[in-house]
Amino acid sequence: MVYHYPTMIPPSNIEYSEMNKKQAQEHFDWFMKEIPTRIKILFGAIEASGIRNIERFDMTPQSLNLLWTWLKERIRTVPTSQEEMNALKKNIAKFDI
């Protein structure tokens, strides 16, 4: 079964490294407000996978093992073009890792 897990799209496309303090705070506030919605989406995906005892995913540290087991059975990779890889490398290089 394929479940469409919607991408989290920030309200601004400003790079984190380019944000001023006010923009960073606005982004953080937006992110924090999104958490309950994202949890509902995640639980919807878990339920759509056929798991009925959703209460086991109780957001405790122990339930992270269960979540990881569930996720790694469903995660898939998508082929990336050379152009996409170059763009990713360019973005990663900005962080001076």
User: Residue 60's Cα: distance from chain center in Å?
Assistant: 19
Asked if residue 89 belongs to a domain, the reply is no
Query: Domain tally for the chain?
Result: 1
Asked if residue 44 belongs to a domain, the reply is yes
76: confidence class by pLDDT, cuts 50, 70, 90: confident
Q: How far is CA 29 from CA 5, 25, 34, 68, 84, in A?
A: 22, 6, 9, 27, 30
10-59 per-position pLDDT tens digit: 888 888 889 999 999 999 999 999 999 999 999 999 999 898 888 899 98
**What domain range is 45 assigned to?**
20-75
Asked if residue 58 belongs to a domain, the reply is yes
Residue 4 has pLDDT above 90, yes or no: no
Asked if residue 27 belongs to a domain, the reply is yes
Asked if residue 39 belongs to a domain, the reply is yes
Asked if residue 14 belongs to a domain, the reply is no
Q: Which residue has the higher pLDDT, 1 or 6?
A: 6
Asked if residue 83 belongs to a domain, the reply is no
Asked if residue 60 belongs to a domain, the reply is yes
